[in-house]
Amino acid sequence: MANLTSIYSNYHSLLKMITSKKNIESAATIKQRLNHAHSIVHTYYKELPDYFVLRDGASIEGNFLVDTIFDKEESTHTTRLYDQLKQIVPLYKELENDLDNPFKLFVMGPGNYGKSTLINSLLGTKEKHAVENIQPMTWKIDLFEKNKQKDRVTVVFKNGKVADLTQEQAKNMIDMEEKKTVASKKMVNEQLKKLVSEKKLSPTEINELKIKMEREKVYHSSIVEARWGIEGAQLLNHFSIVDTPGLNQHNFSGEIKNSVQEYYHKSDGVIWLLDATAISAKNSDTLLRDLEESLANMGGSRATETMIAVLNRMDLISDAPGQKEKIISEAQKLFGKRFKKIIPYSAVQAYAAVSNGDRHLEIMSGREALLSEIEDTFYRNALTIQAKKKRANCLVYNSRASQQISEFNKQLHKDRKVLEQPFFHLKDVLDNRYSKVLSQFHEEISSYKKNVEKDLKKSITQDKAISGKDGKQSYMLNNMFKYTDLKKIISNYTEKATNIYYTESERCAREYNFTQYRHLERHREKKYAHLDLKDIEINTDLSFSLPSVGSYVATAAGIGLLLGPVGALAGAGIAAYFGNKEKQDMIDDFYIEFYNFVHKHISKYEELITEQRAHSEVQIFNEIIQSFQQVYNFDLEDIGGLFDAIGHVFDSGNKTIEDLHDSSAHLELTLSEVLVSGSF
């Protein structure tokens, strides 16, 4: 018999040693894989600033198009991706570090069912450490751990940074964050109501505006965790106890959001609180729906494998015979398929028992039964559970990072297709429109020339003396060359050409508009740039060179110095100086000089149109690019470089998703497969 006892004892010791070795090996393997997954996400995250201007609420201001909706800079697809990854990256390291820390036991549940009171009862100290009867506005968790340094609190922020504070400093900081959150939501709610009233917003527009204001105006605290050192709590020798905010949080507009996924992934095990006073047949559908919604956000029904259900507030149930048993039976019917065991409990009685040293009340409250269940469920297999949970949490982080990158890439791919379209089609559209304007311009010029030609001979040959410099100049321009008509044509078609830019710019703004708030677009202020082009300079210097009157120039210097020979002839009348042959030669020369005059101004107009055509294309492209930039923040101006950067970011994102998929496939291996294969 003694030999059998010895053999059993040796076997038990050997089994314990093997289990311990496996736990250590599994933890080491999980650490390797956590580090590998962290490296994948971190590499992609660190690469983003190489291609983007990243700053909170960023917007790109250029020279061509200034856009605002309700006078507020907008966050972008890129800044939100970057912010999400900035929060995910440190979580991998936190998981890795947690494998060396005590088991994290979270207290969770819907409503205000006494989570803080239960924590105080489990800690078993006379001092209450968890704050009771408040509904926090911030989504931080409070972690109570064995005291390492008296009166110190570690505050953890979203980016993974920490601050070591005194308890007073920590409480003041957290209180200030609460006040800022409350004030922010109140202010934004008032602004929302005002805008809805003033802008006559539709329900769809209101929903978009809520999303926009939640992103850009509501204050979100950067504190995610506060770690409080506790003395004299026996349970903290092996566990850290974590108080959580309610499962449901109200956003600034009063809507309820299930927030369990914000912190559940940090837990190793969970005490799930049920309210004994709410257990009834008529509430069964609501209770089950709430539980299923929360479990769905925690990974499905398997989440309850690391949960203990506690039916709290049993002290509020009537002491009438059979009443408490009835409530326990109802709870078992409702939740028995979800939880292996449901512990009846009274947190109020349990705290009173440990405070007063009342052993009988401690047993009656359910505290002893709960502590025993915690030991059986969690403590005996703590390392194995932790390793499994960290692996599962890493899968959650991989999935979350992949989802964020995938959604970003999907939107980027869609928007790139839109961005490419004008670069294939805009040139042809502008060419056709400007060619049409030029064709119409030449038709009008042709009519103008015919009209001038018809009257030019009569203007030249009439005997009419005109005296004075201004009179001669006016006669030559207006009577002979009908300069006013030419100027009107050029002005008219300059305006038509300019309108091409404005109409095409507006068309492109509609067709190639990149926005995060499609329904709010009608409220966007748009200011299109003025085309900065020089007007056509009409040259009115009529100093022509007419060979047939060359000899006359010398004798008429007194009259023609200012206006040339034409001015002299117009002043005296051509018939007074020439015979028929000379007169015809002079008329021919006038026609030649008129054609040169018109050609010179046609050429200038065509130069203007060419310049305007080029400027229009550049500016419209820039406006389209700016619209794109306002939702992405690429740190590039060159269009070729922009498309190259889009391609690189897209490919890098897809590779990161593939690498995370492979990483998750390795993590999906069971611990026994890991240990047998020894693979990483």
pLDDT band at 438 (very low <50, low <70, confident <90, very high): very high
pLDDT of residue 553: 35
Q: What is the pLDDT of residues 603-618, one digit of tens each?
A: 888 888 888 888 888 8
Judged by average pLDDT, the poorest of 479-488, 516-525, 557-566, 662-671 is 557-566
Q: For residue 69, is pLDDT > 70?
A: no
pLDDT band at 471 (very low <50, low <70, confident <90, very high): low
Kindly report the CA angle at 67 between 62 and 68, in degrees rounded to 5?
130
| Most confident option among 28-42, 118-132, 453-467, 537-551 | 28-42
Q: What is the pLDDT of residues 251-295, one digit of tens each?
A: 555 554 545 666 777 889 989 888 898 886 555 566 667 767 766
pLDDT of residue 134: 59
Please, what's the b/e burial string for 649-677 (b: 16 or more CB within 10 A of its CB; e: otherwise)? bbebbeebbebbeebbebbebebeebeee
The first and second tokens of residue 312, run together, are 């709290």
Judged by average pLDDT, the poorest of 403-417, 588-602, 658-672 is 658-672
Number of C-beta neighbours around residue 492 at 10 A: 13
Which amino acid is located at 643 in the chain? Answer: F
pLDDT of residue 574: 45
Judged by average pLDDT, the poorest of 200-214, 529-543, 625-639 is 529-543
Number of C-beta neighbours around residue 614 at 10 A: 11
pLDDT band at 18 (very low <50, low <70, confident <90, very high): very low
pLDDT of residue 165: 93
Kindly report the CA angle at 485 between 482 and 489, in degrees rounded to 5?
145
Axis crossing angle, helix 323-335 with helix 284-296, rounded to the nearest 10: 40
The share of the chain scoring above pLDDT 70, in percent, equals: 72
Number of C-beta neighbours around residue 448 at 10 A: 17
pLDDT of residue 569: 42
pLDDT of residue 63: 33
The first and second tokens of residue 283, run together, are 């509430």
pLDDT band at 163 (very low <50, low <70, confident <90, very high): very high
pLDDT of residue 642: 87
- The count of C-alpha atoms lying within 13 angstroms of the C-alpha of 224, restricted to the half-sphere facing its C-beta, is 19
Instruction: Residue 410: name the closest of 422, 402, 421 by CA.
Output: 402
CA distance 30 to 14: 24
* φ, ψ (nearest 5 deg) of residue 500: -60, -45
Specify the 3-state DSSP secondary structure of 527. strand
pLDDT of residue 46: 93
What pTM was estimated for this model as a whole? 0.74
Sign of the four-CA dihedral 516, 518, 524, 529: positive
Domain spans, the chain? 426-633
CA distance 463 to 572: 7
| Range 88-92 average pLDDT | 92
Sign of the four-CA dihedral 291, 294, 300, 301: negative
